[in-house]
Chain A
Amino acid sequence: EPEVTQTPSHQVTQMGQEVILRCVPISNHLYFYWYRQILGQKVEFLVSFYNNEISEKSEIFDDQFSVERPDGSNFTLKIRSTKLEDSAMYFCAIIGTSGIRTQYFGPGTRLTVL
């Protein structure tokens, strides 16, 4: 099973501040995803990233969100001006190079916006 790590594990920020969440796949991967889970709700798709560009994004992923792969390994999610409703667990997921369509998730970052 491919390994994915995420940093930080918990981020507390003030409303209106920018946050950057990081995902570090251990080996080579092609597809990258961000999902989030608001407490008590289901896991929701945010954005998919393939070949260094966004392949699909959800309605949640508005202009306040951005993703990039700055150094070819890390994969980041930036929220420019956080809102209270952005408080959630954020999960990175990857699909490996084997051609199998299974997504493997990281442990998540808990974002708390005060």
Chain B
Amino acid sequence: DQQVKQNSPSLSVQEGRISILNCDYTNSMFDYFLWYKKYPAEGPTFLISISSIKDKNEDGRFTVFLNKSAKHLSLHIVPSQPGDSAVYFCAASGPAGGSEKLVFGKGTKLTVNP
């Protein structure tokens, strides 16, 4: 049962362009969403999060958009840099007050070409 889905296993973009990574979820109880960046044999590194009371959160080059009616979120990276090349995981938790366990998608491998 995939409660969090990342349908694109890979994405390739040119340096300086926008990277858009997508994520869909099915569980309407999720109310907190996160994006992590991960390199092989390392732990996930937190990038940005968004609460369900918002539809946008921005931090530097990273912006996350949340569309609750569509149960969809996306991560925009502008401008993309070669150092952004990694696997990006979408994760969700909720409802608030529970164990806050994270449910992860399968990840999207982003390659930024110089």
Interface residues of A (CB under 8 A from B): 1, 4, 6, 31, 33, 35, 41-45, 48, 50, 55-56, 58, 89, 91, 93, 95, 101-108, 110
B44-87 contacts to A (CB < 8 Å): 44-46, 49
If the complex has contacts A101-B93, A101-B96, are A33 and B44 also in contact, measured as CB distance less than 8 A?
A: no
B43 near A105 (CB under 8 angstroms)? yes
A101 near B100 (CB under 8 angstroms)? yes
B43 near A45 (CB under 8 angstroms)? no
B43 near A91 (CB under 8 angstroms)? yes
| Chain A residues whose C-beta falls within 8 Å of the C-beta of B99 in the assembled complex | 48, 50, 55-56
B42 near A107 (CB under 8 angstroms)? yes
| Chain B residues whose C-beta falls within 8 Å of the C-beta of A41 in the assembled complex | 106
* Count of A-B residue pairs with CB < 8 Å: 61
Interface residues of B (CB under 8 A from A): 32, 34, 36, 41-46, 49, 89, 91, 93, 96, 98-107
CB closest chain-B residue, reference A49: B99
A89 near B93 (CB under 8 angstroms)? no
Query: In the docked arrangement, what's the CA distance between A110 and B43, Å?
Result: 11
- Least CB distance, B106 to chain A, in whole angstroms: 5
A56 near B46 (CB under 8 angstroms)? no
| Chain B residues whose C-beta falls within 8 Å of the C-beta of A1 in the assembled complex | 46
B89 near A42 (CB under 8 angstroms)? yes
Query: In the docked arrangement, what's the CA distance between A105 and B34, Å?
Result: 13
B45 near A31 (CB under 8 angstroms)? no
The residue from B45, B49, B101 contacting A45, defined by CB atoms under 8 A apart: B101
Query: In the docked arrangement, what's the CA distance between A93 and B93, Å?
Result: 14
Query: In the docked arrangement, what's the CA distance between A35 and B91, Å?
Result: 13
- Least CB distance, A87 to chain B, in whole angstroms: 13
If the complex has contacts A50-B99, A102-B34, A108-B41, are A44 and B104 also in contact, measured as CB distance less than 8 A?
A: yes
